[in-house]
Amino acid sequence: GAVVSQHPSRVICKSGTSVKIECRSLDFQATTMFWYRQFPKQSLMLMATSNEGSKATYEQGVEKDKFLINHASLTLSTLTVTSAHPEDSSFYICSAYKGVETQYFGPGTRLLVL
């Protein structure tokens, strides 16, 4: 199978602080990972495409300086929410691309900014 993990599963932080979320592909290498955001009772919205060894590609309307993405290895991508504010509170989900148009999803990270 293909397993993708995320850490932490839940994080609470104060407004103005930065939060780092890790996404790991545990049993396969992923040159491409994706970061999604999901609001309550809404669909997943793609935020950015993370490419190993190169800059991430952000979707329209997503601030790249706000959501820093680093894909330093074939099994790890990180999303850092900088200077978090309450409106950044959401459920962040990553996925790893294993080829043939197949993505495997992480369990998600719930961020609450106070």
Partner 1 sequence: AQRVTQPEKLLSVFKGAPVELKCNYSYSGSPELFWYVQYSRQRLQLLLRHISRESIKGFTADLNKGETSFHLKKPFAQEEDSAMYYCALTGFQKLVFGTGTRLLVSP
Stretch that binds partner 1, among 18-26, 43-51, 60-68, 71-79 (CB under 8 A): 43-51
Minimal distance, residue 44 CB to partner 1, in Å: 5
Q: Pick from 21, 23, 24, 34: which binds partner 1 (CB under 8 A)? A: 34
Dmax of the chain from CA atoms? 41
Query: Does 91 contact partner 1 by CB under 8 A?
Result: no
Q: Pick from 11, 13, 44, 74: which binds partner 1 (CB under 8 A)? A: 44
Query: Which residues lie below 8 Å from residue 86, measured CB to CB, with a gap of 6+?
Result: 15, 113, 114
Query: Does 43 contact partner 1 by CB under 8 A?
Result: yes
Burial class (CB in 10 A: 0-12, 13-18, 19+), 41: exposed
67-93 b/e (C-beta count within 10 Å ≥ 16 → b): bbbebeebbbbbbebeebeeebbbbbb
**CB closer to partner 1, 43 vs 54:** 43
Query: Does 107 contact partner 1 by CB under 8 A?
Result: yes
List residues near partner 1 by CB under 8 A.
Answer: 4, 32, 34, 42-46, 49, 93, 95, 97, 101-103, 105-108
